[in-house]
Structure 1
Amino acid sequence: MAFDGPTPFDGDPVYMYLDEVEWDQPDDVVRAIREAFEQTREEPYVEVDEGVWAWAAAEMVAIALGRPPKEAPPEPWGPAAERLGKSRAEQLKTAALAALEVVVDDERSEIAELWNERDDAPQFAEHVAPLRARLGRR
């Protein structure tokens, strides 16, 4: 698997996006997040890198909504998410949930497929359930 931890920030895939976004520019961050969600929904099968990036983008939306995870993500993602503001995050929330539906589907997502093959972990959908709840899906 291309990442090693319980969050999307615990491995290499999400770091590929460091140079693609002006993290101190909220409009650029919104564009990048929106593109991550759109790409995830449009692809018939989402590779690990794109799935992890969509997962990280959804975490950023939750943070901007004032619903952060227990452990704050590293820079630049945490601070960039806080700069997004609640209004922008509300506009992205539905897209975040739709992208996560794809990311947790092991027939459409490599990250879910690989994760679900592990013997030592809950199903990926269960692992991502707290994030989905923080985004407003119960």
Structure 2
Amino acid sequence: MSLADALARGRSAAEARMLDRVRLYTQGDDVFDRETGETVPGAQTVLYEGQARVKPVAQASGEDAQAGEREVMLREIEVSLPWSTPLPSGVRVLPGSRVAVLAAEDPRMTGLVLWVTGAQYGSQATAWRLSTEDRS
């Protein structure tokens, strides 16, 4: 079997395990509306929406952090997207991008918003993996 055949089979197997649905996006800065006195979330730019595999990183021990006056636990979660996921021309996924879990086999994950901390690239990978953290 050639390398190309092995990669094709591995990518197909990886996609078969992608039972969750996510939206990968960037979000503009929030804007304060002086008339209503409310903060309006910035505009979202959707980079990808579709199948994915969302799973906690093995042996990740969450890290306590301060967010304003609130204590939060940062948990590492790996999001795998199909290796062939297209991105708009010239766009790279950078830390601070977000992943919203739209649907999941585990319904407790639906509605999670994860913050991208890194993206892994590789021509011999079976999936495109994003390192994220749950900041709740």
Q: TM-score range by the shorter chain?
A: under 0.3
Q: Between Structure 1 and Structure 2, which shows a larger proportion of helix residues?
A: 1
TM-score, scaled to structure 1: 0.25
TM-score, scaled to structure 2: 0.25
If you compute each CA radius of gyration, which structure gives the higher value, 1 or 2? 2
Q: Between Structure 1 and Structure 2, which shows a larger proportion of strand residues?
A: 2
